Structure 1
Amino acid sequence: MLIFNAQSVVGKQLLQGELPSDKTLFTDTLRMAWPTMLESFLTALISLADTIMVGALGSYAIAAVGLTAQPRFLCLTIFFSISTAVSALTARRTGAGNRDEANRTLIQALAITFILALCIGSAAYVCADPILRFAGSQTDTHSHSIIYFRIIIASLVLQAFTLVVNAAQRGAGNTKIAMKTNLVSNAINIIFNFLLIEGRFGFPALGVRGAAIASVLGFAAAFILSTASVLKPDGYLFLFYRNNKLRFDTRILAGLYKVGSGALLEQIFLRVGFFLYAIVVANLGTAAFAAHQIGMIVISISFAVGDGLSLAGITLVGQSLGKKRPDLAKIYGVFCQRMGLVCSLTIALVYSTFGRNIYSLFSSDTIILNYGSIIMKIVAFIVIFQVGQVIGFGCLRGAGDTRYTAVVSLISVAIIRPFSGWLFVYPFNWGLTGAWLGLLLDQFVRFTLTWVRFKKGKWQTIEI
């Protein structure tokens, strides 16, 4: 417990009120963090199981499904930004005791989300062929990628709606709701993967198409559960709270824009950087891309730990600032980061020790296993910086400091990651190893820039 000492965190900063005991602060952080950590971690494990199931069809299937990831996330970009804004604003209003405005923020955000999701989903469905060609699909993966992508993108409204509702619930401190929603959704995904990919218990063997249908069924379950969570009159967030009607409030829209615009830029830079980086790797060939995709699935487990603590950071920092307690916001932010450090060191040890064994769960192909042995050694270093920067980003987002996180994403993800990846892969001729060294450089830069910003404390004075 020595690393969870509140007084050492606050330092010379003047206290704005009574400081709870270290045990209370640690317990509060853990209580908020564990549902989001468990949710993200189990979601990543289920995604890992999903890839193993798809991998039974061959490396072409892993590559085909992997190629759709960045285009899909690119379509979700604006909804990630809306959910960030909703979470930060809901946390502030909850901290300030303004339940009415928290509910009006949610309903207005959902109206915007519904309209945008219909437009973006329709456009992506029609343009699936050129989108996936640009993403780097090969002859043996292109048709399968189109099938998978179109089925997934047809449910964009369900995915976007769930994202925003769950973000609002987390901001209000209801992290268990989002956890239950995602766990049920992912469980349904896995069950129908088992039934539909290779055909079991009388279900047809649909291959890649079956994997996509299973995902959509999971998204539908998540949509139903998240919607049900805001239809309970006794819930903090209730769509019909005080006869809540859809009347756009310029002040609420201004708050959504202030936080959401920065988050949107950040997401655009992230997705563009990820997309360009994926193209660099895709051009190495199907086997290399399959090995890379497995590595990205594995690293998502460590990201899940950071993401869970990041979401907790958004809520704790936002609510503390809503209570006019920047000192508590800093303490909670540091506690989340230190929890992340303990977790990342543990995961790094596992990755460095059992890297090849982990890869063998996905494939018996010697080429892929050889790639995996190298990748996992690099991942062991990536994890430490990755978890730290993800949590730091969450704390800054919770304070509304999304313009800065956007700038960091531009520098690190949109420029450094794809450029260094290309440089190391082709001019330096380091192949797939070079691509992962580029990813390591990106994570290190993001960690450094985020740590410096958090340390200076300017984020504690932002009004939203």
Structure 2
Amino acid sequence: MNALLSKIFCAQRVLKNTPPQGEIPDDETLLRRTFRVAWPSTLESFLVALVGMVDTIMVSRLGAYAIAAVGLTTQPKFICLAVFMSLNIAVSALVARRKGEGDREGANRVLAQSMVLTVMFAIVITAIAILFAEPILRLTGSNAETHESAAAYFRIISAGMIFNVMSMVINAAQRGAGNTKIAMRTNLVSNGVNIVFNYLLIEGHFGFPRLGVAGAAVATVIGTMVALAMSVLSVAHPEGFLYLQFQKKRFRLERSTLATIANIGSSSLAEQLFLRFGFLTYAMIVARLGTTAFAAHQVGMNVITISFAFGDGLSVASVALVGQSLGEKRGDLARIYLSFCQRVGLFCSLTLAVVYSVVSRDVFRLFSSEEEILVYGEMIMRMVALIVIMQVAQVISSGCLRGAGDTKYVAIVSLVSVACIRPLAGYVFTYPLGMGLFGAWIGLVLDQFMRLILTSIRVRSGKWLNIRI
């Protein structure tokens, strides 16, 4: 076994004939550090995705309309979060680079400024989301059966956005510093709270009111409040690399720090907007197929999220390890850590592909017993088994590019693949070619394939090794 691992995870093979830029730790040490950073973020992403699936299962007891109603809010919710997600990408990359440079003050300055920006954006976006909830959801494809529940869910989630986004920015900084266990604990506890209150509020147990779909939204907000409390505590220890002294001068906006954040964050924002435009357009295309087809699609997207979790966790690790290595002026180590993350990801994706091929219909039975949904499920799971291999690989490569500050290229990839190829191919295969939901999923496959090709080309070019942030 050790001999096999030494062949798969070999730093010399990664570097080939390229001379090292300094002392290279032995392969076991490099692999151990990769796992030490990667496993908490991977476990966190997986369990968060699993909780999302459990959330959908609990809501599904109300009927297919409830699955569809919650599903309709997914893309509007992520559009609202686009600014914060792009900001968090910048925070993780910058904190990782500053840690590699040994600049603790610079890292804490980035976090403090980002928290101020987060509060400002949250106030504006929350107000817009609550005021325009109904037209937004009509645009995404709600109908008489789903509209009222979807609007209530979206308004409640939006009202609690401030707790979520403040926790997100602190956790992003902790991940950049390599403290992935902190973010993992925060999310595990908050999602556990979410599940408990789902049970109490969706159907009304132990004297709690029966709120239905709205109860799931309230439970989510309560979970994010707990997450924020834990996140704030994580930066309240003077001995930590990230330590926020809550003094007024620390939170004054500074032009130099804001310019650095904006340099990366603007490209990340463009990426997020392209992603959300593509995902929203794609969801609207599927919503036109009807409540049952959209409910089946939503279950499939939950499964996709589970597999994405493995790639996302390893992507977080690559952001931290690549960013810190480049901060130390060690491009050779950055390439090695990326390669190790990719190889772990390949193992995970192949394992998931086999599992998905075996369980197919059984997974969908967790959500519904309707025969039409189960038939859709068999088709979707076959597609997911193919998608997961491409998805995990491209997500890890994208994380490496973000960690290096190459966010403009990732934004271009999102524009080409997600904003154009996915919705256009999905529409053509679904309606003009008459392939229905199967056609929509062909569009998703083509999107993942194109992203894999484009990110792989960029990673192999090595241009990301020379970006200054």
Sort the TM-score into its range (normalised by shorter chain): over 0.9
Matched, 1:379 2:384: yes
Please give the per-residue CA displacement for 1:356-378, whole angstroms capped at 9, x wherever unaligned: 01111110000000000001001
Q: Is the 8 A contact 1:103 1:241 kept in 2?
A: no
Give the one of 377, 396, 401 matched to 1:396.
Answer: 401
Contact 1:85/1:260 (<8 A) preserved: yes
Shift of 1:268: 0.5
The residue type equivalent to 1:348 in the other structure is: A
CA–CA distance in structure 2, aligned partners of residues 189 and 18 of structure 1:
47
Aligned pairs (5 A) from 1:89-104 = 89-104=94-109
Letter in 2 for 1:360: R
CA offsets, 1:254-288, max 9 Å, x none? 21111111111100000000000000000100000
Aligned: 1:298 with 2:303:
yes
TM-score, normalised to structure 1, is: 0.99
Gaps of 5+ in 2: none
**Candidates 49, 54, 63, aligned match of 2:68:** 63
Asked whether the equivalents of residues 113 and 161 of structure 1 are also in contact (C-alpha less than 8 Å), the reply is yes
Query: Which structure 1 segments of 5+ residues have no match?
Result: none
Counterpart of 2:196 in structure 1 is 191
Q: Which runs of 4+ in 1 moved over 4 A?
A: 241-244
Residue in structure 2 matching 1:359, options 364, 372, 376: 364
User: Whole-Å Cα distance in 2 between the matches of residues 244 and 170 of structure 1?
Assistant: 25
Q: Tell which deviates more after alignment, 230-239 or 285-294.
A: 230-239
Cα distance in 2 for residues equivalent to 1:66 and 1:228: 33
Instruction: Give the 5 Å matches for 1:303-342.
Output: 303-342=308-347
Q: Secondary structure at the match of 1:245?
A: helix
Aligned ranges 1:242-261 → 2 under 5 Å: 245-261=250-266
Match of 2:84 among 76, 79, 88: 79
Partner of 1:431: 436
Letter in 2 for 1:385: M
- Match of residue 201, structure 1, among 206, 226, 239: 206
CA contact (8 A) 1:104 1:244 kept: no
Q: 1:52-80 CA deviation, whole Å, 9 max, x = no partner?
A: 00000000000000100000000000100
Partner residue of 2:414 out of 390, 409, 415? 409
Displacement of 1:248: 2.7
Q: Which residue of 1 aligns with 2:133?
A: 128
SS in 2 for 1:429: coil
Residues 110-130 of structure 1 show CA distances to partners (whole Å, capped at 9, x for unaligned) of 101100011011111000011
Aligned-partner residue type, residue 93 of structure 2 = A
Mapped partners of 1:439, 1:323: distance in 2: 38
Partner SS state of residue 134, structure 1: helix
Tell me how far apart the structure 2 counterparts of residues 267 and 154 of structure 1 sit (CA, whole Å).
Answer: 22
Partner AA of 2:82 in structure 1 = T
**Residue 5 (structure 1) aligned to one of 10, 32, 40:** 10
Question: In the alignment, which residue of structure 2 is the partner of 1:419?
Answer: 424
User: How does the TM-score come out when normalised to structure 2?
Assistant: 0.98
Alignment coverage as a number of residue pairs: 464
Q: CA RMSD in A?
A: 1.0
**Aligned counterpart, 2:121:** 116
Aligned partner of 2:144 in structure 1 is 139
Report if aligned partners of 1:172, 1:236 keep a CA contact under 8 Å in 2.
Answer: yes
> Contact between 1:400 and 1:459, CA under 8 Å: does it hold in 2?
yes
| Displacement after TM superposition at 1:242 (Å) | 9.1
* Aligned partner letter, 1:14: P
In 1: Cα distance, 2:213 partner to 2:362 partner? 25
Measure how far apart 1:230 and its partner are.
1.2
Deviation for aligned residue 1:433: 0.5
Identical columns (%): 57
- Deviations along 1:120-172, one digit per CA (max 9) or x if unpaired, are 11111000011000011111000000000000000111111111100000111
Distance, in Å, in 1 between the alignment partners of 2:256 and 2:102 is 17
Superposition deviation, residue 11 in structure 1: 1.6
Q: CA deviation at 1:244?
A: 5.8
**Native 8 Å contact 1:64 1:142 kept in 2:** yes
C-alpha separation in 1, matches of 2:18 and 2:116: 41
